[in-house]
Amino acid sequence: MNDVINVVGAGLAGCEAAFKLASLGLKVRLYDIKPSSFTPAHSNADFGELVCSNSLKGSDPFTNACGLLKEEMRMLGSLIMRAADATSVPAGGALAVDRDRFAEYITAQIRSHPNIQIICKEVASLPDNGFNIIATGPLTCDSLASDIKSKLGGGLHFYDASAPIVARESIDMSHAFVGDRYGRGGDDYINCPLNEDEYALFVEQLLAAERAHLHEFEKGEIFEGCMPIEVMAARGRDTLRFGPFKPVGLRDGAGNKFYAVLQLRKENVQGSAYNLVGCQTNLKFPEQKRVFSLIPALRNAEFLRYGVMHRNTYINSPAVLNADFSLKCRPQTFFAGQITGVEGYVESAASGLLAAIHMHAVFCGKQPVVPKNVCMLGALSAHVSTPNPQFTPMNANFGILPALPERIRDKKARYAALASRSLEYIAEYKRLIEE
What CATH number has the domain bearing residue 244? Answer: 2.40.30
Measured CA to CA, the distance from residue 247 to residue 236 in angstroms comes to 17
The answer on 225 and 141 residing in a single domain is: no
Looking at residue 152, its pLDDT comes to 86
Residue 162 and residue 387: Cα distance in Å, rounded?
Answer: 31
Instruction: Pick the range with the lowest mean pLDDT from 41-45, 152-156, 283-287, 353-357.
Output: 41-45
Q: What is the pLDDT of residues 357-400, one digit of tens each?
A: 999 999 999 999 999 999 999 999 999 999 887 787 778 988 88
Same domain, 266 and 327: no
Element (H, E) at 199: helix 196-208
Inter-residue contact 47 to 136 (CB < 8 Å)? no
Are residues 340 and 298 part of one domain?
no
Write the CA distances from 65 to 95, 136, 313, 417, integer angstroms. 13, 25, 24, 12
In the chain, how long is the greatest CA-to-CA distance? 70
pLDDT at 92 over 90: no
Return the sign of the alpha-carbon dihedral for residues 288, 290, 291, 294.
positive
Which residues, 6+ apart, have CB-to-CB distance to 402 below 8 Å? Answer: 373, 374
Residue 155: pLDDT band with limits 50, 70, 90: low
284 with 190, same domain: the answer is yes
Q: What is the DSSP letter of 358?
A: H
Q: What is the pTM of this model?
A: 0.75
Q: Which of 307, 323, 352 is the last residue of a domain?
A: 307
Mean pLDDT over all residues of the chain?
Answer: 89
Please report the pLDDT score of residue 218 as a whole number. Answer: 38
135 and 217 share one domain:
no
Q: Read off the pLDDT of residues 19-34 as tens digits, 9 standing for 90 and up.
A: 999 999 999 999 998 8
Domain boundary residue among 274, 307, 340? 307
Spatial separation of the C-alpha atoms in residues 25 and 19, rounded to whole Å: 10
We report the CATH number of the domain holding residue 90 as: 3.50.50.60
- Is pLDDT above 70 for 154? no
Cβ atoms of residues 228 and 281 within 8 Å: yes
Cβ–Cβ < 8 Å for 77, 20: yes
Looking at residue 5, its pLDDT comes to: 97
Average pLDDT over residues 293-306: 93
Q: What is the average per-residue pLDDT within 207-234?
A: 71
Q: Which domain holds residue 214?
A: 165-307
Omega before 61 within 30 of 0, i.e. cis: no
Q: Given this model, what pLDDT does residue 38 score?
A: 57
Measured CA angle at 85 (ends 84, 86), to 5 deg: 90
Whether residue 213 is predicted with pLDDT greater than 70 in this model: the reply is no
Q: How many domains is the chain built from?
A: 2
Residue 144 has pLDDT above 80, yes or no: yes
Mean pLDDT lowest among 180-194, 233-247, 316-330 = 180-194
Q: How confident is the model at residue 343 (pLDDT cuts 50, 70, 90)?
A: confident
More confident residue, 232 or 187: 232
| pLDDT for 272 | 81
Higher pLDDT, 254 or 75: 75
Q: Which residues pair with 178 in a beta bridge?
A: 190
Among 307, 333, 358, where does a domain finish? Answer: 307
Closest to 271 in 3D by CA, of 6, 9, 122, 90: 90
pLDDT band at 42 (very low <50, low <70, confident <90, very high): low
Same domain, 170 and 301: yes
| Cα 110 from chain centroid (whole Å) | 20
Task: State whether 148 and 174 are in the same domain.
Answer: no
Assess whether 197 and 99 both reside in one domain. no
Q: Any residues with CB less than 8 A from the CB of 194 and at least 6 apart, and which? A: 202, 245, 258, 259, 260, 261, 262, 295, 296
Residue 93 pLDDT exceeds 80: yes
Same-domain status, 173 and 256: yes
What confidence score (pLDDT) does residue 219 get? 45
**3-state DSSP call for residue 285?**
helix
pLDDT reading at 411 higher than 70:
yes
Q: Are residues 228 and 333 in the same domain?
A: no
Q: List Cα–Cα distances, 414 to 68, 203, 267, 383, 403, in angstroms.
A: 13, 37, 33, 22, 9
Pairing of strands 221-222, 156-161: parallel
Do 36 and 150 have their domain in common?
Answer: yes
pLDDT-wise least confident of 61-70, 158-167, 249-258, 275-284: 158-167
> What is residue 210's predicted lDDT score, i.e. its pLDDT?
92
Inter-axis angle of helices 345-363 and 12-23, to 10 degrees?
30
As a whole number, mean pLDDT of residues 283-308 equals: 93
Reply yes or no on whether the pLDDT at 216 is more than 50.
no
Residues 79 and 183 in one domain: no
